[in-house]
Amino acid sequence: MSGVIAAGSPETAVAGAAMLQKGGNAVDAVVAAAFVSFIAEIGVVHLGGSGVAHLYNPQTGNSLVYDFFSNMPGLNGTAPAEMDFSEVTIDFDATTQSFYLGRASVAVPGNIAGLCQMAADYGRLPLPTLLEPAIKLARSGLSIEPFQADTCKLLENLYTHTAGMRQIFLKDGRMIRAGEQLYIPHLADTLTQIAQEGPDAARNGRLAQAILADQQANGGLLTAADLETYQVRQVQSIRLPYHDYEILLPPPSSVGGVLTALTLKLLARFDVGQYRHGSAPHLRLLYEAMAATTRARHHWDQWSDEMPADKAVARFLSDEFVQIYDQEVRDSLNKRQPSPAIPETPSHNSTSHISVVDSDGLAVSLTNTAGESAGYVVPGTGYIPNNMLGEIDLHPQGFHARPAGQRIPTIMTPTIVLHKGQTRLVVGSGGSIRIRSAIFQVLSNLLDFGMSLKDAVNTARVHVEDGVLQCEAGYDAQAVDELEALGYPVNRWTKRSIYFGGAHSVSRTDDGRLVAAGDNRRGGAVATAVSH
């Protein structure tokens, strides 16, 4: 089968394309690519994390979201006398941010369960075949890519926290550098177990037993019941019109899907393409739409706690509710002054994305994260757990306050765009709260401004944070000056940055060709499979 894939590293993309060449479909490609990413993209994702995937089949018109994000741990368990939970501060140049790691930072992981279930439900190739590229890479090691090495260096305090991590990431007493060999002891054996046992490896197999033994001995919260009862959710997409297109977005646990939907419903009420891209009027509209979404978020947070998810989504995206913010946007544009902006708590920054479309039109959009990692390796496994319980933004009511078994919300937003029932765009992004601004700007660049996919993905982006318009290097200086003269707070970036996301994307052009574009902010790469 032929098809295209865009991902966060060459090895990830090539692994997915290889499955297409073997006769697999887009699901096979994304599963194989994801397992390789846990090695090749070790700066941002790990096997012990979780994800959200979005599927669309044009043959049937059906779409489906696989939600395998993390649950809170502790079912049928007792909190340890002393939890392994310690603070680490990371310097992001412009700011510092605290994270917590250790065994008590580990939420119930979903990667293995979710990827294996997708493969079983919709893939064509056997699981051992899908894991062959990852097992081979784990046995041989690989030359680490510059972006991944830079990210590991940024997270040095986490990636050198314990002896097991130092064995992987330190070379001659310093952090691994681009081009040096990365090798994770025991990981090949663990991946082989998964190939043989499927999701049972992480549910009650040898890997699960090793994870639990380590947790129980070292102040963790994960229990056997957490792993045994974890369920991958299959939920229906949020579907909404955008001019001549239909946008498919993930529902909760993805908060990002709901918020992106609101932004797009606002933008759909304007003729965005009438503006020159990057002009002051265009930037003002982007600012006001993003700021309005942030102001609306507190309603979502309240309603999602008070009512079932489907009712909260319907209320938040109702025409009556959207009209309130539409009027606010228009008032600000007419007055030529910025609307009120409020702070928004950031989300996990270490995230990666894979987009695939095969020659049958099957589309898969997968976003994955492990937080920043829990700072240790489960002994004898090469398995690096997540630190979802150690991210302040995910737990506004306090660490460990959510009840055991509850799904943790995420900003991850794997997205698919349709035109007349056919896949037009597959997109998603890493980048914390910038995920949704990256996605809707790529989407608008392609659909409203008619850019090529490469340009739509890699053109300079903006983001509103704490009322300030963050302008990535590459925007029109005169337009930014005009905006600032109207009272809009602006921060001009002198370089391109991973801050603005990593929207690796695939598109079907108007003449039916499949094209892919990696986001060069985050080491993006593409690969193509051609049927024989």
Chain segment 198-207, per-residue pLDDT in tens: 999 999 999 9
Q: What pLDDT score was predicted for residue 13? A: 98
Three-class SS of residue 362?
coil
User: Annotated catalytic residue: which of 294, 351, 369, 381?
Assistant: 351
Which long-range contacts link 151-157 to residues 24+ away (Cβ below 8 Å)?
A: 151/43, 151/44, 151/350, 151/498, 152/42, 152/43, 152/176, 154/90, 154/92, 155/43, 155/90, 155/350, 155/372, 155/373, 157/88, 157/89, 157/90
Q: What pLDDT score was predicted for residue 348? A: 46
Query: Confidence class of residue 92 from pLDDT cuts 50, 70 and 90?
Result: low
Residue 503 and residue 463: Cα distance in Å, rounded? Answer: 14
Beta bridge partners of 252: none
Q: What pLDDT score was predicted for residue 532? A: 62
Q: Is 160 one of the annotated active-site residues of the chain? A: no
**Cβ partners under 8 Å of residue 287, min gap 6:** 338, 462, 464, 469, 483, 488
Query: Confidence class of residue 391 from pLDDT cuts 50, 70 and 90?
Result: confident
Residues 384-393, mean pLDDT to the nearest whole number: 87
Q: What pLDDT score was predicted for residue 394? A: 66
Residue 386 near residue 468 (C-beta atoms within 8 A): no
Residue 65 and residue 234: Cα distance in Å, rounded? Answer: 6
> Does the pTM of the predicted model rise above 0.85?
yes
Q: Is the pLDDT of residue 269 over 90?
A: yes
Domains of the chain by range and CATH?
235-347+413-522 (3.60.20.40)
Residue 473 and residue 462: Cα distance in Å, rounded? Answer: 9
pLDDT digits (tens, 9 = 90+) for 274-318: 999 999 999 999 999 999 999 999 999 999 989 999 999 999 999
Cα–Cα distance list, 34 to 30, 116, 331, 449 (Å): 6, 11, 45, 32
Rounded to whole angstroms, the maximal C-alpha distance in the chain is 64
* 311-315, 400-404, 433-437, range with greatest mean pLDDT: 311-315
Q: Is the pLDDT of residue 395 over 90?
A: no
**Cβ partners under 8 Å of residue 100, min gap 6:** 85, 86, 87, 88, 387, 389, 390, 391, 392, 399
pLDDT digits (tens, 9 = 90+) for 471-502: 999 999 999 999 999 999 999 999 988 889 99
